[in-house]
Amino acid sequence: MSKGRRPVWLIGLDGVSFDILQPMIDAGRLPTLTDFMTRGTAGILKSNVVPFTPQAWATVITGANPGRHGVFGFVRQMPGRPPEFLSSKTMRGERLWTWFSRRGLKNLVINVPLTYPPEPLNGIMITGMMTPSESSQFTYPSELKARMAREWPGYRVDVRASIDKSRNLAFLDELEGALAVSIDLMTTLVKEVDPDFFFPVFVMPDRIQHVFGHLIHPASAAYDGATAKKWRSRIWDSYAKLDAAIGRLLDLAPPEANVLFISDHGFAMERGGFFTNDFLSGLGLLKLKTGGGHGTARLIVRKFNTPAIKRLVPNILVRKTIDLTKGAIDWSKTAAYAASAAQQGISINLLGREPEGTVSPADYDGVRDRIIEALASVSRADTGEPAVKACRREDIFYGPFLEAIPDIVLSFEESRLEAKDAVLGADAVTLSDGGSRAIHHRDGIFIACGPSIEPGPCEELNLEDIAPTVLALAGIEAPVGLDGSVGGQVVQRARSVRVARPDPRGT
């Protein structure tokens, strides 16, 4: 080891929140995480206002808000055009590993979402979620892929989740098999590279929550049901295996390493859906075609749009039927429409921007303000509380890439609803008992332990704070352009590394 070396291990646990972890911690099922929380510091890590994987990990990677890194959702899609799938080429700004590479420090970046296609760095990169398939060129250097095929033939970039998999606990076997191969790969490469910056992400928790969240989330109405009680121990076994695998990895961490655990978002129980296009239709701002089978598709989705029914039907068929309903939109008479599900927003059908735009730039602000005002009056029928908080995108984010974000951003942090992009021809707000489906929530986790980490309570952090904190721990001066600051119980020598904050009015 070189004198004064300050390695940082940033371990991503996709979709993890303390409310899901705590029962397992109390039961003694997660000794590795429990040990780090006891010896270090832990607190809430707030995700983006729309807490979805692409924009969240892009913020971690760049230290910038979505208006500056240009990532918001999995795809960009204009009406009538094929979707543009986002990738590392979409993401703007320098990456954490770039700052380490520039100083001759070694990187090991494995399975981080939005890193495909891989990019050159001083070290190794194996791309993660949003990689098209294992047949893609997903490694840097490129020759590593052939070695992986020989030595770790069962390696999987991702194990996709869908609601219909919740019928079968064998999905957990699939996840655990992928984890075993991944850990073997990581431990070998950590020994070979001896990284100054090690950044692996485990998507396994996110996949479990999407499929089995209704059985393990303490706030679920199904938590005390017969199925949950029967299956929960087996589901917890998967978390225990992940915890043990991470423990095996951490046995290789040098004593001078500072280790951070973070998640890009947490999970909460869905309490209903907000059908954005139906809301806009009610305002007269979205018009539907007649005929063409679209009405039949809407009827099918309306009648069978429940998690219980969806579990009996393959996910791809559900999605295709929902897409058929969106084909009913008459763009020539539509002023606004729902953005993609991972964007949770509303786009104005702007003349000169959308292929069949109808709203002139002069009317843009008026249409947007009308929608926001109408949304303020939408409430939950059961409680009377507001169903949605709506904001202009520039009131939340800033930077040169605001166009990547819907014109109106929707937040359901309090109501626990989720925006849907289907066109049902029904009520805009539908309610559920909170026992059927887990959805993304802003409250993720931050756990830190190491020689530069002061034990004790930790203040709430934002995703933007992770990059400057990592750089400070490594002794690297943070550059101009980061939107966060050094946070957590980080010792004074790390806090002394200044972060130049950009002017919010600039780019």
Q: Is the pLDDT of residue 504 over 60?
A: no
Of 358 and 458, which is predicted with more confidence?
Answer: 358
Question: Which pLDDT band holds residue 187 (cuts at 50, 70, 90)?
Answer: very high
Residues 26 and 23: their CA atoms lie apart, in Å, by 5
Q: For residues 309 and 364, which has the higher predicted lDDT (pLDDT)?
A: 364
Whole-number pLDDT of residue 321? 54
Rounded-to-integer distance, Cα 471 and Cα 441, Å: 27
- What's the average model confidence in pLDDT over 416-435? 82
Q: Which range among 42-46, 139-143, 491-495 shows the weakest confidence by mean pLDDT?
A: 491-495
More confident call, 4 vs 167: 4
Q: Beta strand 461-462 with 41-46: parallel, antiparallel or unpaired?
A: parallel
Query: Does the pLDDT of residue 446 top 50, yes or no?
Result: yes
With a cut of 60, say whether residue 501 has pLDDT above it. no
Give the phi and the psi of residue 216 in degrees, each rounded to 5. -120, -10
pLDDT tens, residue by residue, 21-66: 999 999 999 999 999 999 999 999 999 999 999 999 999 999 999 9
Q: How many angstroms separate the CA atoms of 332 and 323, rounded?
A: 19
Would the pLDDT of 500 be above 70? no
Q: How far apart are alpha carbons 342 and 418 in whole angstroms?
A: 10
In angstroms, what CA-CA distances link 30 with 25, 178, 238, 240?
A: 5, 20, 11, 6
pTM to 2 decimal places: 0.91
| Kind plus residue range of the DSSP H or E element containing 118 | none
How far is 393 from 359, CA to CA, in rounded Å?
18
Quick check: helix, strand or coil at residue 48? Answer: coil
DSSP state of 115: -
User: What are the residue ranges spanned by the domains of the chain?
Assistant: 8-73+83-268+440-450+458-495, 271-431
Better-predicted residue by pLDDT, 83 or 281:
281
pLDDT at position 490 over 80: no
- φ and ψ at 63, to 5 degrees? 75, 20
In tens, the pLDDT along 252-270 reads 999 999 999 999 999 999 9
- pLDDT-derived band at 161, boundaries 50, 70, 90: confident
| DSSP letters spanning 319-346 | HHHHHHHHTTB-GGG-SEEE--TTT-EE
Q: Name the CATH topology of 8-73+83-268+440-450+458-495.
A: Alkaline Phosphatase, subunit A (3.40.720)
Q: What is the average per-residue pLDDT within 298-307? A: 51
The yes-or-no verdict on residue 317 having pLDDT over 70 is no
* Upper half-sphere CA count for residue 350 (Cβ side, 13 Å): 16
Name the more confident of 166 and 360. Answer: 360
Confidence label for 323 from pLDDT (cuts 50, 70 and 90): low
In which element (H, E) is residue 195 found? none
pLDDT, mean of residues 283-297: 73
Rg of the Cα atoms in the chain: 23
Task: Tell me the pLDDT of the chain averaged across its residues.
Answer: 88
> How far apart (Å, rounded) are the C-alpha atoms in residues 484 and 501?
8
Burial of 16 (0-12, 13-18, 19+ CB in 10 A): buried
Mean pLDDT in residue range 227-255: 96
Chain segment 373-388, per-residue pLDDT in tens: 999 999 988 888 899 9
What is the sign of the dihedral through the CA atoms of 320, 322, 325 and 329?
negative
Question: What span, in angstroms and rounded, lies between the C-alpha atoms of 463 and 22?
Answer: 22
Q: Tell whether the model's pLDDT for residue 306 goes beyond 60.
A: no
